[in-house]
Amino acid sequence: MTTSEPLAGTGPRLSSSDGGDWWLFRGDGERREVPFPAAPPWRRFDRQESATGDRVPYPRPYLIGPDEVEVVNAALHLRRPLLVTGQPGTGKSSLAYAIAHELALGRVLQWPVNSRSTLQDALYHYDAVGRLREATLRRDADGTEPDIGQYIRLGPLGNALVPRERPRVLLIDELDKGDVDLPNDLLTVFEEGEFAISELTRLPASHTPVHVRTVDPDETAPVTRGRVRCGEFPVVVITSNGEREFPPAFLRRCVRLDLPEPNESRLREIVAAHLGPDALDETDDLLREFLERRAEGELATDQLLNAVFLRKGGVNLDAASLLQGVLHRLGGAV
For residue 315, what pLDDT band results from cuts at 50, 70 and 90? confident
Residues in contact with 311: Cβ distance below 8 Å, sequence separation at least 6, in sequence order: 282, 283, 286, 322
For residue 228, with 0-12 CB atoms within 10 Å meaning exposed, 13-18 middle and 19 or more buried, which class applies?
A: buried
Largest CA distance in the chain: 81
Sign of CA dihedral 249, 252, 253, 255: positive
For 222-248, how does the pLDDT look when each residue is reduced to its tens digit (9 = 90+)?
999 999 999 999 999 999 988 889 999
Q: For residue 9, what pLDDT is reported?
A: 35
Mean pLDDT of 105-119: 95
pLDDT at 13 over 60: no
For 136-194, how does the pLDDT look when each residue is reduced to its tens digit (9 = 90+)?
776 666 666 778 889 999 999 999 999 999 999 999 999 999 999 999 999 999 999 99
Q: Write phi, then psi, for 229 (nearest 5 degrees).
A: -135, 125
pLDDT at 122 over 90: yes
Q: For residue 12, what pLDDT is reported?
A: 32
Give pTM, 2 decimals.
0.82
The three-point CA angle 231-236-237 to 5° equals 165
**160 vs 214: CA distance, rounded Å:** 10
The three-point CA angle 94-233-227 to 5° equals 125
Radius of gyration of the chain (CA): 25
Mean pLDDT of 305-313: 86
HSE at residue 257, side-chain half, CA atoms within 13 A, is 30
The DSSP string of 274-294 is HH-GGGGTT-HHHHHHHHHHH
Q: Which helix (H) or strand (E) holds 182?
A: helix 182-192
**206 vs 216: CA distance, rounded Å:** 28
